[in-house]
Amino acid sequence: MTHTIQPSNPETTPAPESTDIPATRPAGAAAAAAAVPAALKRRVPKYSDLAPLMQFKKPEFSKEARLKRASTVWELRDIAKRRTPQAPFDYTDGAAESEITLRRAREAFLDIEFRPGILRNVSSIDLSTDILGKSSRLPVGIAPTGFTRMMQSEGEYAGSQAAEAAGIPYTLSTMGTASIEDVAAAAPNGRNWFQLYLWTDRDRSLELIERAANAGNDTLMVTVDTAVAGARLRDVRNGMTIPPALTLKTVLDASYRPAWWFNFLTHEPLTFASLSRYTGTVADLINSMFDPTLTFEDLDWLRETWKGKLVVKGIQTVDDARKVVDHGADGIVLSNHGGRQLDRAPIPFHLLPEVSKALKADNSNAAIMLDTGIMSGADIIAALALGAGFTLIGRAYLYGLMAGGRAGVDRVLQILEKDMARTMALLGVSKISELTPDHVRILGR
C-alpha cells in the first residue's frame, strides 16, 4: 500500500485540535510579523544616526578644485572648451577636412580587448622606461605643438616645466611661441627635444639646429608629413589667424571668456621659436615656409649635421619606416599629424604591429614611438603592448593647458599616470617590459 505525504506549508499551522479557544489574530499573519528582522522594522531616525551622514562641504570654485574634479582628459577638454575662445579651441580640437582620421584614431583605441593575466604580484607598478638612451619616468612625452601660447598664455613654459617635474621629455615645435633658449631656461633640468620643419632656406634650418644643440636639446625630431598644409576647415570657418584678430565675433566670444583675453592681452605678444613675427593664416604660413621638395637626401644631410639622436615624425607606411631607419634615424614616430594633414590617412595604432614586426625582422633597435588619438592611460598601455617603445601626447596636454595652465598640464599627467598604473595592475603586469601583444586584441581584426 502506497502512502502519499503532502509537503507542509511553513506559513500555515495545523488547525487546533480543540475549537474551544478562539484565535485572536490569523496565525499566518502572526508568524510573518515574527519573521521580520529587527533591522527592517520602521522607526523614527535618531539624530545620532543622522549626524555622521550630514557632512556638507563648502562649494569650491578655485582652479585647483576645478582641475581636481576632472577624472579624465575628456573632462579637462570640457573645461577647456568653456574657458577658451572658439578659434583657439578649434585650432587644437579640430583636424583636416571631415576629421575622419582623428575620429578613426580615437575609435582604434576603443576597439580593443584587453586580455589580463591573474594571480600575479602587482603590489608595485613601475612605469619607467628607456627612450633614445635615457630613462623616462613614464612611457609618454609631450609632442610638439605650434602656437601654444595662443591656447593659454603659459604655453610652452607650462608644458616644459610640467614635463620636467614628471621626469618625461618635452618637445618644442619650430612653430612654438617660446624660443629654444627660453624653454631651456624655464626647464633647465628637463629633457628637452626640438622638432624641426625643414625650410626652403637651408641656412635658417641650420641655424635652428645649432641653437637646439647649444641649448642642450639631445634629440632632433624632424616632421615629414607637411609638404603642404592640410585643409583644416574649422580654422577656415573661424577666420583663424596668427595672432587672433579682434573682430566683432571674437569680441562677442570674449565676453564670456574674459580670463583668456585678459591673459592674452596682458602678456608679451605671440612670437615664434624660429621665425620673425608673422600675421596671416596658419595654412599660408606653412605653404610659404616649408619645403615641398624634401627627399631622403635631405634626411642624409640632417644625419650628417645633427650629432644627437635623430627621430623622424610622420611615418605612415611600413616601407617608409624601414627607409628612414636605413637613412640613419634613431627613432620614428608613427603619426598622421593628429589627423590635421591628410584626411583618411593610416591610423598609427593599426599600423603599429606591422611596423614593429618589420623592424624586428631587420634586427633594428630603432625606437618606435606613436601619437594621435591618445586620450587615456589605457590607450598608452595598449600601444606599448602592441610594440611601441614610447608615446607622445599633443591634444591631451593642450586640453589641460587650456583648462588650467601649468596646473592643468600637471593634472593631465597625473590622470594618465593613474590610468596606466591601474591598467597594468589589472592586466597582471608590474613593469613595461612585461607587456606583450598577447595582452591586447584588436576587435574585428
CB atoms closer than 10 angstroms to residue 414: 16
Annotate 59-95 with b (16+ C-beta within 10 A) or e (fewer).
eeeeeeebbeebeebebbbebbbebbbbbbbbbbbbb
**Distance between CA 72 and CA 151 in Å, rounded?**
20
Cell triple for residue 5?
A: 505525504
DSSP label of 215: T
Phi, psi of 5 (to 5 degrees): -110, 120
Task: Please state, in angstroms and rounded to a whole number, the distance separating the CA atoms of residues 241 and 270.
Answer: 12
Read out DSSP for 243-263?
SPP--HHHHHHHTT-HHHHHH
Q: How far is CA 323 from CA 197, 229, 330, 349, 407, in A?
A: 19, 24, 12, 20, 41
CB-count burial class (<10 Å; 0-12, 13-18, 19+) for 442: middle
Q: Which of 3, 267, 327, 337 is catalytic?
A: 337
d(CA 33, CA 277): 85
All cell numbers assigned to 46: 535618531
User: What type of residue is 54?
Assistant: M
Check if 337 is active-site.
yes
DSSP state of 20: S
Q: Which residues of 6-43 are buried (b: 16+ CB within 10 A; e: fewer)?
A: eeeeeeeeeeeeeeeeeeeeeeeeeeeeeeeeeeeeee
Which cell numbers in the block locate residue 140? 609618454
Catalytic center residues: 337
